[in-house]
Chains A and B, each alone.
Chain A
Amino acid sequence: MVRRIDTYPTHEYEGYKLRPGRTQPFGASVVPGGINFSVFSSHATACTLVLFERDNPEPFVEIPFMDGFRIGNVYAMTIFDLDYENIDYGFRFDGPWDPSQGHVFDPSTVVMDPYARSIGGRDVWAQRVDPHAIYQHRARPVIDDFDWEGDTQLEIPLEDLIIYEMHVRGFTASPTSGVAAPGTFDGLREKIPYLKALGVNCVELMPVFEFDEWEHSRISPETGEILLNYWGYSTVGFFAPKAGYAATGRYDMQMDELKNLIKELHRSGIEVILDVVFNHTAEGNELGPVISFKGIDNKTYYMLTPDGYYYNFSGTGNTLNCNHPVVRNVVLDCLRYWAADYHVDGFRFDLASILGRDQNGAPLSNPPLLEALAHDPILAGCKLIAEAWDAGGLYQVGSFPDYGRFAEWNGRFRDTVRRFIKGDEGMLGDLAQRVQGSPDMYSRRRPTASVNFVTCHDGFTLMDMVSYNSKHNLANGEDNRDGQNDNYSWNCGHEGPTDNQDIHDLRRRQIKNAVTILMISQGVPMLLMGDEYGRTKHGNNNTYCHDSPLTWFDWGALEENDDLFGFFQGVIAFRKAHQVLRRREHFKHRDVVGSGWPDITWHGTQAWYADWSHYSRVLAFMLDGAHARGGLDPDDSIYVAMNAYWEPLTFELPLCPGDGLWHAAIDTYQPPGWDVAPVGEEPPLEDQSSYQVGPRSVVVLVGREEIRR
């Protein structure tokens, strides 16, 4: 190939050969003969590139961006003959120090490139660090090529998705995992067969962007253990995978390791959604560390009060100024990068309502960032999921600016199902909406706008939801003040562990009730890692700081609870087998396919009569399989009876649509082995006219025609 004429140095500084660089792409790029560095700041007056040998605390050279090396607000320079694998780089920015005006430039501080794609300094999880080192989080130049061997995003239709929310480290950190590299991307890769066996087709990874596990580290007054930032909802660098999550992080190969994980998950038919935290950064408030954004362009990157203080809509000290045009582009560049270069299938936006606030914090009716994401061509195949609230009081579940693209974590589904299961009165009207995909909230959307869940990383696990009435967070060192208070949980008669067999059985039944209702509801179901074996966090509902068996997946407990795991497998398989449960459109409540039955009908202990009264704790419904996929792909009919009352009740059954007979698919009252039937092997009911549903139990019947033939 003909050599480019701009691959020759034009300048020299202390023996280093340079030329004015290319402004794009931002960050460090390996180019013919050298490395190109490009970084922007709207308010800086000067910038210096600081180069270190890999992991060396002191720089070996500092090269100012000379006159002619700036275009607009972008500083760009190419340096020749650098060994890209053996350097870390940072910047010093000069400019005004005037906090009341939002400017906190300090050239004595080395700051990190916001576009860094590889970041050292914390590349082995929880390894001791020198808190006095001048450069903690160290940007590294990389070549981010990868041999994808034909892999692409899977683009599984949203209605077919079954999401498994998980923590990369927690999944295999326990010695019981038996993997070669516990707590890493590679450990997760080794456990892909387990995910396949469970039946999920999407993993939602809690934050995997570089963060500092040592942030706010302290000793627990309760246990004496070191508390870390285990969850990682505190981004240091948006473009870099968490190096400490990679077995190969110490070799700076975390990018390859994560890409290999994604490629292998895709080969197993499992999508990858990243939990992304764009609402704030790890730099905290006025007292927090200067890592990157503060020292580069504080006033641009953060929402500031008129006095120059940090707005705190995130509850963590600062708020990213994400509807500033410059910051908006950073977010867009970032997501495009993860979609295109990592083949990520979607994103879940933490405290997404912040992304809809203007630069002064006021909610926008038409937020440019969200609009840009919704219509972006590179993100067009990505799932976009909003946690549609923030810590500043903006609660937008059902009203998030979605542009027809954003699905939402449906917190009302969680609360309604929890309250119904524990026997609260007056829940039926709400429950009926939730199992239909919440058409009351998403009438102009599809059911898939609703990501349904009963548990997530925030709050109790499913087992704790049925074992504790209140949170037990003393081990967090905040006097039990942290964590949600409204858990809608019920301990089934005893707070915490018990030898009482009745309580034990009831708890397992309640877990089965919850996951069954989740799996027979329209919308997109999401499970929490470990609920399938009854994982407990001992009543702690806010375990962000615990890197210990308290939060790790316990593979030994999985073996001991294979009955529960088998049930989860069964109900997941049932959902996957029945497209009538995975509608693309809301129910029409009438017969639009000429089957003689409406798509959904409501029942109770009497067929065709649902008791909607306040004190009723019973609801049944029937889906006519002829309506599946708008009548184009008929399915079996399904009847679901939910009894949250503490006595068994006999439900009169409606006649099965068509010529079908009712078969028993799921009965949470039955013992393990009898509680869920393999798909296609459901036994027909002897009595087709009624079914006794056990106390606090859920029954699912499937109507099939071929048996009568």
Chain B
Amino acid sequence: MEIQEETINGITVLTLDGEVDSSTALSLQEAVEAYINPHCRILMNLAGVGYMSSAGLRVMLVTYRDVIAQEGRIVLLHLSEEIRYVMEATGFLSHFTLADSFDEGIALLENGHGSAH
């Protein structure tokens, strides 16, 4: 699991690469926590994530809760069909705002999307 970070127009873009499971979940959580600040805006690019285990979904939800607690916003980009379905069936998806393109993700965050709903 590798994570790259860049900042674009004040938005933190985190690009994940690799599988998210119990062996990588904790390090992912710790890495992401560093970018969760008051009113943060995070675009999480999951194009490189082919598999997300139960532990991985939990990291996503904990991240979401932390972001919301800081009145920040988060949008998920390029979620694979399979992960998207798993998240829907297990109830994790309903929390998240999704984007299918980079520009859409930036626009959603700039227009106030990705907060609690």
A residues near B (Cβ < 8 Å) are 83-86, 142-143, 145-147, 180-181, 184-186, 189, 246-248, 251-253, 256-257, 259-260, 263-264
Contact = CB atoms under 8 A, between A and B. Distances in A.
Contacts of B86: 247-248, 251, 253
A215 B51 CA distance: 32
B59 to A, nearest CB: 12
A146 B92 CA distance: 10
B49 interface: no
A184 to B, nearest CB: 8
A627 B53 CA distance: 57
Given A84-B22, A85-B21, A85-B53, A260 B90 contact: yes
Contact of B53 (A185, A251, A257, A260): A251
4 pairs of A and B residues whose beta carbons are closest in the complex: A260-B91, A85-B22, A256-B90, A186-B89
Interface string B67-95: 00000000000000000011011111000
Contacts of B91: 146-147, 256, 259-260, 263-264
Interface in B3-45: 21-23
Contact of B55 (A85, A185, A186): A85
9 contacts: A83-B22, A86-B23, A145-B58, A147-B61, A181-B89, A184-B89, A252-B54, A253-B54, A260-B90
A248 B89 CA distance: 8
B28 to A, nearest CB: 14
Contacts of B89: 181, 184-186, 189, 246-248, 253, 256-257, 260
A190 to B, nearest CB: 9
Nearest to B56: A85
Contacts, number: 59
A252 B23 CA distance: 16
Nearest to B52: A251
A55 B61 CA distance: 27
A83 B23 contact: yes
A83 B25 CA distance: 11
Most buried by A among B21, B23, B54, B90: B90
A427 to B, nearest CB: 48
A142 B22 CA distance: 11
A652 B105 CA distance: 72
A84 B55 CA distance: 10
A147 B87 CA distance: 13
Contacts of A180: 85
B interface majority secondary structure: helix
Interface in B83-111: 85-86, 88-92
Contacts of A263: 91
Given A83-B22, A143-B58, 6 more contacts: A84-B22, A86-B22, A189-B89, A247-B86, A251-B54, A256-B90
Nearest to B88: A186
Contacts of B22: 83-86
Nearest to B53: A85
Contacts of A246: 89
Contacts of A143: 54-55, 58
B52 to A, nearest CB: 9
Contacts of B53: 85, 251-252
A142 B61 CA distance: 17
A129 B88 CA distance: 28
A86 B53 CA distance: 10
Contacts of A86: 21-23
Contacts of A257: 89-90
A703 to B, nearest CB: 46
A249 to B, nearest CB: 10
B68 to A, nearest CB: 12
A257 B28 CA distance: 24
Nearest to A264: B91
A260 B54 CA distance: 14
A283 B88 CA distance: 36
Given A247-B85, A248-B86, A256 B54 contact: yes
A564 B40 CA distance: 55
A226 to B, nearest CB: 27
B25 to A, nearest CB: 9
Contact of A85 (B54, B88, B92): B54
B96 to A, nearest CB: 12
A263 B85 CA distance: 17
Contacts of B88: 186
B23 A253 contact: no
A147 B68 CA distance: 15
B23 to A, nearest CB: 6
Nearest to A145: B58
A592 B86 CA distance: 58
Contacts of A146: 91
A416 B22 CA distance: 57
A540 to B, nearest CB: 32
Contacts of A259: 91
A452 B88 CA distance: 36
A150 to B, nearest CB: 13
A246 B90 CA distance: 10
Contacts of B54: 85, 142-143, 251-253, 256
Contacts of A84: 22
Nearest to B93: A260
Nearest to A252: B54
B106 to A, nearest CB: 28
A145 B23 CA distance: 18
A392 B64 CA distance: 55
B110 to A, nearest CB: 28
A248 B21 contact: no
Contacts of B61: 147
Contacts of A256: 54, 57, 89-92
A252 B22 CA distance: 13
Contacts of B55: 85, 143
A180 B54 CA distance: 20
Contacts of A186: 88-89
Nearest to A82: B22
A246 B58 CA distance: 18
A484 B57 CA distance: 48
A519 B100 CA distance: 50
